[in-house]
Amino acid sequence: MQYLAAIVAFICWQGCQGIDLRPYNVTALSMFVNNDLNQDGFFTLDEMHSSFTIYDTDHDGRVTRHEYTSYVNLHTPTLHDLSHALYDDYDVDHDHHLDEHDFQNLFNVMDADKDNRVSALEWEQYWVSQFIKYEHLHGHGHMGG
């Protein structure tokens, strides 16, 4: 997804001085802006599909772990462990491919009010919880906010 690509861009914007996703809400909102492709203030399932295309290097409509983590390793190797953890979360049926079923599930998790679009607030809440959950994988031993 462009999610990790957006994290990478945000980190480099901060000066590429290591991985510091804090403050998490700022990182999440920066990611939202990068993934709200039509800039209408909502993230949609169509935008999620578009976000995944950067990882789908063989253009088969599915993203393998290798495709996903290779992209991350190429751009920001320090996010290697985080990329594997996120991939495991995304791959809900554990078939080692991210496809329509996985995209829909992730979208449904992010869409807290079930209105078929993810607001900036819903996005922020989801990603802040992910950053806290996986804080040990991106270099922080204490809770962020």
- The predicted pLDDT at position 137 comes to 87
What pLDDT score was predicted for residue 85?
Answer: 95
pLDDT at position 143 is 37
pLDDT at 144: 39
SS3 for the chain is: CHHHHHHHHHHHHCCCCCCCCCCHHHHHHHHHHHHCCCCCCEECHHHHHHHHCCCCCCCCCCEEHHHHHHHHHHHCHHHHHHHHHHHHHHCCCCCCEECHHHHHHHHHHHCCCCCCCEEHHHHHHHHHHHHHHCHHHCCCCCCCC
pLDDT confidence of residue 46: 95
pLDDT given at position 141: 43
pLDDT, mean of each 10-residue run, the chain (145 residues): 56 51 94 96 95 92 95 90 94 94 95 98 97 83 40
